[in-house]
Amino acid sequence: MEIKIQRTENPKEKPDESNLVFGRIFTDHMFIMDYEEGKGWYDPRIVPYGMLEVPPSMSVLHYGQAVFEGMKAYKGPDGRILLFRPDENMKRLNRSNERICIPEIDEEFCLEAIKELVNLDREWVPGAEGTSLYIRPFIIATDPALGLKPSSSYKFIVILSPVGAYYPQGINPVNIYVETEYIRAIPGGTGYAKTSGNYAASMKAQAEALEKGFIQVLWTIGERPMVQEVGSMNVFFKIDGEVITPELDGSILPGITRDSVIRLLKSWDVPVVERRIYLDEIFEAAEEGKLEESFGTGTAAVISPIGSLNWEGREITINNGKMGELSAKIYDELTGIQTGKKPDPFGWIVEV
Ligand SMILES: *Cc1c(COP(=O)(O)O)cnc(C)c1O
C-alpha cells in the first residue's frame, strides 16, 4: 500500500522546549488508515492534524472497543531520530487487538507509516535533555450503530506530541498507596491488553490515592494480596540482592521497558526472577532490612523509584526514600541507549 501525503498549509509554531506539558500539543500531521470488513485495511494517508467528524452512534463511544500504544522518538546527539524497540509496540498492538476483537494490523507496514509520519514532522522532535516526541498509535471501532458486537469498521490513527523531561527537578522517589479495594485487572480479563477500558476503570483508585496524599497506587489482587503493577507501570523489587517482578499471568501489561530491564539485568549477571510476589513478603523483607530497592518501569518515566509503600496504615520506607544504586544504573543505561549516547548491544534502536 502506498501512503498518500497531504502536507499542512499552515504549519504551527513549535512550542518552548523547556516548558512542555505531557500530551497537550500535537504536531502538524497525523496518520490515518481505515478498515472495512471484506476489504481489510485501506487508504493509508498522512494528513494535517485536525478534527475527526464522527457520528454520535459510533461504537467506540459506547462500548469502548479501542486499543492504543505509547512510544517515543528521541533526538540523538548527531541529530538522528531514534525509536526504541518499536517492533515490540506493533506486536503488542496486535495482541491487544486480538483480545478486543479488532482486526490484525500489518506490523511492518504500520511501523513504516509511523517512521514516515515522524520523519515528516521531524522538526518537532525536541532536543533538550530528557525531552522526546511521544507517539500515540490507536485503533477505534467506527460502526455507526448501537448493536453490541465487534464493529465491522475501524480507524487506525497515529498522533505525535512533543513531551518535556519527566524529571525536570531530578528523580525523586514517590510515595505509593497499596490498593486492596479496587482491582485493576483479573485473571481472564483484559489486563495484558492496552485497551482504553482498563484506564477508565483505574481512575477512581488513582483519584482517591491522590486525595490521601499519594502519587500512585500499587495494584494488588487476592485474599493474600499479590502485587501486579504500580500506576500504569510495571513494578520491580530488589530483595536481598535478587530482583523480582510479577510474572506475566494475563493480568499484567507486558511492558517493553519491563522486558528491557530484565534483559539488562541478565546481561549484568544480576539475579532477576519473574514470579508471583505477595505483599506480605515485601513488608516482611522491609522489616528484616532486606528490601533494598523498588521501582516502576514504563515508556513515560523509564524508571520511577518508589520511596515508600503504605498498606492499610502500615508504612515502609525504601532505601531511606532515595533512589537506589541499581535503579540509577538501569535508568542511565536505558536512557543512554534510547538517546544514542551509549552503545546499543541489544539492537534495540531503530532510526527513522
Ligand atoms: C503501557 C503500560 C505499561 C508500560 O509499558 P511500556 O511498554 O514499558 O511503556 C505498564 N503497565 C500498564 C498498565 C501500561 O498501560
- How far, in Å, CA of 338 to CA of 82, rounded? 7
Q: In this structure, what C-alpha cell is assigned to residue 179?
A: 490498593
Q: In this structure, what C-alpha cell is assigned to residue 329?
A: 544504573
Judged against a pLDDT cut of 80, whether residue 304 lies above it is answered with yes
pLDDT band at 65 (very low <50, low <70, confident <90, very high): very high
pTM: 0.97
Predicted confidence at residue 21, as pLDDT, reads 86
For residue 96 and ligand 1, the question of a CB distance below 6 A is answered with: no
Predicted confidence at residue 175, as pLDDT, reads 95
Note whether 66 and 139 are within 8 A (CB). yes
Average pLDDT of the chain is: 96
Predicted confidence at residue 18, as pLDDT, reads 85
The pLDDT of 46-64, averaged and rounded, is 97
Please name the residues in contact with 181: beta carbons below 8 A apart, sequence gap of 6 or more. Answer: 205
Predicted confidence at residue 298, as pLDDT, reads 97
Predicted confidence at residue 217, as pLDDT, reads 97
- Quick one: which of 69, 74, 261, 98 has its CA closest to 157? 69
Q: Ligand 1: distance of its center to the CA of 10 in Å?
A: 35
- Quick one: which of 156, 157, 195, 159 has its CA closest to 35? 156
- How far, in Å, CA of 185 to CA of 339, rounded? 33
Judged against a pLDDT cut of 80, whether residue 90 lies above it is answered with yes
pLDDT band at 283 (very low <50, low <70, confident <90, very high): very high
Bridging pattern class, strands 349-351 and 291-298: unpaired
Q: Ligand 1: distance of its center to the CA of 216 in Å?
A: 14
User: Under CATH, which number does the domain 174-338 receive?
Assistant: 3.20.10.10
User: Under CATH, which number does the domain 4-164 receive?
Assistant: 3.30.470.10
Burial of 55: CB neighbours in 10 Å, binned 0-12, 13-18, 19+: exposed
Q: Which residues of 273-307 are buried (b: 16+ CB within 10 A; e: fewer)?
A: eeeebebebbbebbeeeebbbbbbbbbbbbbbbbb
pLDDT band at 230 (very low <50, low <70, confident <90, very high): very high
Burial of 211: CB neighbours in 10 Å, binned 0-12, 13-18, 19+: exposed
- Quick one: which of 110, 119, 115, 74 has its CA closest to 92? 110
Question: Which residue would you say has higher pLDDT here, 267 or 20?
Answer: 267
Predicted confidence at residue 35, as pLDDT, reads 98
For residue 234 and ligand 1, the question of a CB distance below 6 A is answered with: yes
Q: Ligand 1: distance of its center to the CA of 214 in Å?
A: 20
The pLDDT of 109-116, averaged and rounded, is 98
Q: Ligand 1: distance of its center to the CA of 313 in Å?
A: 28
Domain assignments of the chain as residue spans, ordered by start: 4-164, 174-338
Predicted confidence at residue 159, as pLDDT, reads 98
- How far, in Å, CA of 280 to CA of 295, rounded? 18
Choose the residue to mutate in 253, 295, 335 for probing ligand 1, maximizing ligand atoms within 8 Å of C-beta: 253
- How far, in Å, CA of 349 to CA of 352, rounded? 10
pLDDT band at 156 (very low <50, low <70, confident <90, very high): very high
Burial of 332: CB neighbours in 10 Å, binned 0-12, 13-18, 19+: middle
